Structure 1
Amino acid sequence: MTTTIAIADDHSLLAQALSDLIQRIEGYDVLYVAENGRDLLRHLNRKQIPDIVLLDINMPEMNGFETAQYLQQHHPDVKIIVLSMFDREEDVARMVRFGVRGYLLKGCRPSELRLALDDVSKKGFHYSDFLTNKLIRNLAPGDKNGTMPKPLLNERELTFLKLACSDLTYTEIADIMCVAPRTVDGYREVLFQKLNVKSKTGMILEALRLGLIEL
């Protein structure tokens, strides 16, 4: 099954080169290249809805932040990967709040882009080391933009959460906690639900943001 891509970037030469690169990757098809967020909206209004949008931040008329927020509100099924020159922590965190699934710098290698596309199309997100480090630094306890109240965890859930932040496997965590592996699976699913996340990385990042754990 082919994954469809739209590119929103006001640098025409770079955007076309990116489109040509993606077209050579099996399983992906570029539907169109938009000059900015406003141009992307015109395509969306014509029912040209891609699976993934590769989105620049610094664009005229409608920038990447405004575009991501619009997509989050009106096309939540469209997955966003930011491809930008900006690596500021506040920019990364703001984009994540607008629902982006990955964040790449324009100096990344083609292999990194391919991995991000594969991860987002198959798993729904791409948490690179770059993205994770930026979020850990920015989403600190007491973040004014955080709206989710701190969930109540019992002692066993908190113990599991702390152990999950290490490089231990879930089987090893079960041994340390003296429970069956399926019990650990239960702790994980409960925490996913309480923290409103879908992955171990997301669980750790949200726990850090809420001040439930420290690294």
Structure 2
Amino acid sequence: MKYSVVIVDDHTLLSQAIGAMVDTFDKFKVLYTCKNGRELTERFSESESQIPDVVLMDINMPIMNGIETTEWINKNHPKVNVMALSVEDTDATILKMLKAGAVGYLLKDTEKRVLEQALVEVVENGFFHTKNVTNLLLQSISGNSKRDIEFKENEITFMKLACTELTYKEIADRMCLSPKTIDGYRDVLFTKLNVKNRVGLVMYAIKNKIYTP
């Protein structure tokens, strides 16, 4: 079974080229492409079959841009992984996209092998970040101090394991718990820490020295 990918980009030729590239990857297939966020929300509303595993999202688009669309997806379809694919490389834009709920950020001049690696890590681990983006997040992430929040022992263990390359299922196996229980820990921590995805959880754990890379 291949993971499904949707590409959102207002440049038709470019989105077709990216789609053709993704279709060559062993684990992925392109479901469809959209020209803007509004078109994507309409496709999502048609049926469950139109909702992919991953969305490759441009940022500067007419009608509904990438940041607005990512926020909408995160609110209405939180299980869909959004990875930014853009020419925008300013710190402010990257942070806005990540805070909107994107689990990865790549530039459009990224090599083919890096894009494939990023897609694999996003579906298996829940996030992908280059070293530069990770450093940017560490410098900017805000939140409560660890001393202000009480964690149960299993929540601490889960956070540490979430900072590794283990999938949620593998974390469940490591902790000898059911995947449903692990999902519960994840959701509780997202609420406690006021983060939207695994990226925010990892950054919090690193910043507060719960996990040391």
TM-score, with length taken from structure 2: 0.70
- Whole-angstrom CA distance in 1 between matches of 2:37 and 2:69: 5
Superposed CA RMSD: 3.5
Letter in 2 for 1:108: T
Matched, 1:84 2:86: yes
Partner residue in 1 for 2:155: none
For the pair shown, which has the larger CA radius of gyration, 1 or 2? 1
Matched, 1:44 2:44: yes
- Whole-angstrom CA distance in 1 between matches of 2:12 and 2:96: 25
**Any idea what SS the aligned residue of 1:103 has?**
strand
- Whole-angstrom CA distance in 1 between matches of 2:57 and 2:145: 27
| Runs of at least 5 residues in structure 2 that lack an aligned partner in the other structure | 152-159, 161-174, 176-181
Partner residue in 2 for 1:25: 25
Partner residue in 2 for 1:2: 2
Q: What does the per-residue CA deviation read over 1:110-146, in whole Å, with 9 as the maximum and x for residues that have no partner?
A: 111001100011111112212202212322xxx4xx4
| Alpha-carbon shift at residue 83 of structure 1 (Å) | 0.4
Letter in 2 for 1:94: K
**Any idea what SS the aligned residue of 2:128 has?**
coil
- Whole-angstrom CA distance in 1 between matches of 2:40 and 2:92: 24
- Whole-angstrom CA distance in 1 between matches of 2:194 and 2:62: 34
1:125-140 mapped onto 2 (5 Å cutoff)? 125-139=127-141
- Whole-angstrom CA distance in 2 between matches of 1:202 and 1:74: 18
Deviation larger for 24-33 or 85-94: 85-94
Kindly tell me: are residues 126 and 46 of structure 1, through their superposed partners in 2, closer, same or farther at Cα, counting changes over 3 Å? same
Number of aligned residue pairs: give it. 178
Kindly tell me: are residues 211 and 61 of structure 1, through their superposed partners in 2, closer, same or farther at Cα, counting changes over 3 Å? farther
Identical amino acids, percent of aligned pairs = 35
TM-score, with length taken from structure 1: 0.70
Letter in 1 for 2:82: I
1:51-90 mapped onto 2 (5 Å cutoff)? 51-90=53-92
Q: What does the per-residue CA deviation read over 1:175-201, in whole Å, with 9 as the maximum and x for residues that have no partner?
A: xxxxxxx9xxxxxx9xx85758887x8
